[in-house]
Amino acid sequence: AAAKYSVGQTVKIASNAWSETNGYTLVNRRNWVGTVVSAKPKAYASSAWEYDIQYPNGVHSVHVAEQDVTKK
């Protein structure tokens, strides 16, 4: 399946997100809004894609599973 979100799109980290595909926590970034800067295929739990998301403060979450991303 194609990626649900595309580069340049504004998205939000889900309020129930736990961790990135590399195990890095997302709990402290729940509901943060950012921009997709890359999307790459990655099978993880119920996701087939992962995203690099950049926040307005310059911080990135580099391995966010699609299941943990929602529309803004």
| Domain topology for 10-71 | SH3 type barrels. (2.30.30)
Write the DSSP symbol of residue 66: G
Q: Are 14 and 27 in contact (CB under 8 A)?
A: no
Instruction: List pLDDT tens digits, range 3-55.
Output: 999 999 999 999 999 999 999 999 999 999 999 999 999 999 999 999 999 99
Q: Is pLDDT at 1 greater than 90 in this prediction?
A: no
Q: Which residue has the higher pLDDT, 5 or 1?
A: 5
Task: Please give the model's pTM, rounded to 2 decimal places.
Answer: 0.95
Write the DSSP symbol of residue 32: -
Residues found in the chain: 72
> Domain ranges in the chain?
10-71
Contacts (Cβ under 8 Å, ≥6 apart) of 46: 67
